[in-house]
A and B are shown apart, each in its own frame.
Chain A
Amino acid sequence: MMNKQSSIEKYLEDNGRIVYRNAGESMMPLLRQNRDLIEIEKKCPCGFKAGDVVLYKRNSGQLVLHRIISAERGSYTLMGDNCVKSESGVTDDQILGVMTAFVRDGERVSVNDFSYRVYTDYILKSKALRVPALRAVNRVKRDLGKKHDDTAGENSSKATADLIYLTSCIVNSVDIDAGRVREMNLGELYRVSVSQMMSVIVATGLEKTGIKTKEFIQAKAKALRRNALLESDLRLICSELEALGIWYMPLKGAVISKYYPEFGMREMSDIDILFDSEYAEKVRDLMNSLGFETETYSRSNHDNYRKPPVSRIEMHRDLFGPLHPPLIREYYRSVKSHLIKDPDGDYKYHLGTDDLYIYIIAHCFKHYTNDGTGLRSLLDIYIFNKKFGNEMNCDYISRELSKMELKDFEEKMRELSFGVFSGTGNPAAYSEDFSRVYGSAAHRAVRSIKENGGGLRGRLAYIKKRLFVSEETAVLVSPFLAGHRILHPLLPVYRFGKAVRRHRTLLKSELEAVFRKNR
């Protein structure tokens, strides 16, 4: 009995022409698998040229339909429109026929049609750009090959509940139930703790019941080391700013960490310092002289510096930038009016308790409306309220937050923080909104798709928004491409390529969220 391939070959030989349904994906987007029909005519003796789609037989006997991308004296190089590898050295003898037309959704398209010739021209001329992009997409698709596992979701929820339990016990100085700890899935707890940047506090909780695992010991040591190095750099930079007479104010983790029970429990990934933006160049020179490499400069409201092994410093010219909620940006436009002179330095400033809390909320909101926010932010709010709740001026805070339309948000976050961490509320109030420290790209995708009506419409709107950015964002993505109008079409490709190169894990979770069914 003949197989399908040999039937095609024989039929073509006997009849000079064949029409059959396309089987593979290698010629997408032109030919869809199992949907479009292909018309092949037996080869003519005049030879073939670049652009022709031909049916040829490999040495293995396999029949393949690919496009000729180069032809030289009877030797051809072929490649599928959806492929990244070409095949060279194919000879006239191997070619059985050439595609003369295809049928798509009932409509016949001849290879002589103008639209097809334009498409062919594009495929041949865009190869240098198209193939690397395709390679990147294929890599991402391979990574997405894992099946969604409901059990993994359950384990993660329990581990998150365990993390909340241990954290709540530590921050409230409550004894930990060793029996409950024995039931914990330590592997999953470790994974969740690291993703939330709370491994120190969780490790400390486990140690109180005599449990020490290699992963937690190392994660805790790593976090403590990072915090110590960052704080050392903070002291160094602050003393240099003092020497230069530039006003400055440490922000975020550098300030909040001292309210946590022990050193290192408030893990930090970087140090943030607000400074007098008039001296941005001088500060850049200072940072370079201290061994910090400039990562970005004058691209957003903060300039970024880094020094091995772990130090990342964000020097803030402003607290909020052009991409952040306008009301918040406006509120903090003249930030200096909110600052109080600090006794620890001639040029050092800090925020009063009320204003510090307002800033914590505004900063949390900034992330919440972008990628979402995580347990660490919620814990910051709980710890701050626990320490200062009775002395804060609620009327003032309420009034100031209302100016930024954050009053309801603050109330929600405060209630949630107590519900989760006080030990008296319901930690199940914790929702997918807090999947990671600063939420996740997946969260942003899910929220945006829903806001745009869900389904295919929501997905397309989201993809369009991510790839085709505003001019302000374009400047941050690539000042070079943004500065040359003719290069603007390359911005989406550049953004996608950059994401694949630098943020594959995030991109993977984002794509999973976008393409998950039933959204």
Chain B
Amino acid sequence: MKLNRDFLTYDTGEKSLLVPTGKASFSGLVQGNRVLGIILSLLESETTEAEILEKMKARYDAPEDQLRKDIGKALDALRGIGALDE
């Protein structure tokens, strides 16, 4: 899976933004913290949920279940707005 090319990511330094371009059917704005920013940056290349989990485990010292849950939630939200190509 990969981020749909009709969305672009933007790091403001404090927040991560996911912004639809004119071609996306979603017309809102997604704002999140650094964790979302990392997930989005990983999705800029073809990847899998398992790969994202491994990279997050290497970066964050958090229980695997919690990371899996947070990643799943983020990916579901992205799927919901059509931001993922799978």
Q: Taking beta carbons and an 8 Å cutoff, which residues of A are in contact with B?
A: 221-222, 224-225, 228-229, 231-232, 262-264, 307-310
Contact = CB atoms under 8 A, between A and B. Distances in A.
B63 interface: no
A263 B15 contact: yes
B9 to A, nearest CB: 9
Contacts of A307: 22
A225 B22 CA distance: 11
B29 interface: yes
A220 to B, nearest CB: 9
Nearest to A222: B29
A264 B29 CA distance: 13
Given A224-B29, A262-B12, 20 more contacts: A221-B28, A221-B29, A221-B31, A224-B17, A225-B19, A225-B28, A225-B29, A228-B17, A228-B19, A229-B21, A231-B10, A232-B8, A232-B19, A263-B13, A263-B14, A263-B15, A264-B12, A307-B22, A309-B22, A310-B22
B27 A309 contact: yes
26 contacts: A221-B29, A221-B31, A224-B17, A224-B31, A225-B17, A225-B19, A225-B28, A225-B29, A228-B10, A228-B17, A228-B19, A229-B19, A231-B10, A232-B8, A232-B10, A232-B19, A262-B14, A263-B13, A263-B14, A264-B12, A307-B22, A308-B22, A309-B21, A309-B22, A309-B27, A310-B22
Nearest to B18: A228
Contacts of A308: 22
Interface in B1-58: 8, 10, 12-15, 17, 19-22, 27-29, 31
Contacts of A231: 10
Contacts of A221: 28-29, 31
By secondary structure, the B interface counts as loop
B29 A263 contact: no
Contacts of B10: 228, 231-232
Contacts of A225: 17, 19-20, 28-29
Interface of B: 8, 10, 12-15, 17, 19-22, 27-29, 31
Given A221-B28, A224-B31, A229 B14 contact: no
A61 B21 CA distance: 61
A208 to B, nearest CB: 14
B17 to A, nearest CB: 5
B30 to A, nearest CB: 9
Which 5 residue pairs of A and B lie closest in terms of their CB atoms, listed nearest first? A263-B12, A308-B22, A309-B22, A228-B10, A221-B29
A310 B14 CA distance: 24
A315 to B, nearest CB: 20
Contacts of A263: 12-15
A229 B17 CA distance: 11
Contacts of B14: 262-263
A232 B17 CA distance: 12
Contacts of B21: 229, 309
A117 to B, nearest CB: 58
A229 B28 CA distance: 12
Contacts of B13: 263
Contacts of B28: 221, 225
Contacts of A222: 29
A224 B30 CA distance: 10
B79 to A, nearest CB: 20
A307 B23 CA distance: 11
B8 A228 contact: yes
B29 A229 contact: no
A119 B10 CA distance: 65
Nearest to A311: B22
Nearest to A227: B10
Contacts of A264: 12
Report which residue of B13, B20, B22, B28 has the largest number of chain A beta carbons within 10 angstroms of its beta carbon.
B22
Contacts of A309: 21-22, 27
Contacts of B22: 307-310
Given A307-B22, A308-B22, A309-B22, A229 B15 contact: no
A309 B22 CA distance: 5
Nearest to B23: A308
A231 B13 CA distance: 14
A212 to B, nearest CB: 13
A221 B27 CA distance: 10
B78 to A, nearest CB: 16
B77 to A, nearest CB: 16
Contacts of B29: 221-222, 224-225
Nearest to A291: B22
Contacts of B17: 224-225, 228
A224 B28 CA distance: 10
A228 B21 CA distance: 10
Contacts of A232: 8, 10, 19
Nearest to A264: B12
Contacts of B19: 225, 228-229, 232
Q: Which of B14, B15, B21 has the most CB of A within 10 A?
A: B21
A140 B62 CA distance: 64
Contacts of B12: 262-264
B28 to A, nearest CB: 7
A231 B10 CA distance: 9
A229 B27 contact: no
A310 B17 CA distance: 16
Contacts of B20: 225
Nearest to B15: A263
Contacts of B31: 221, 224
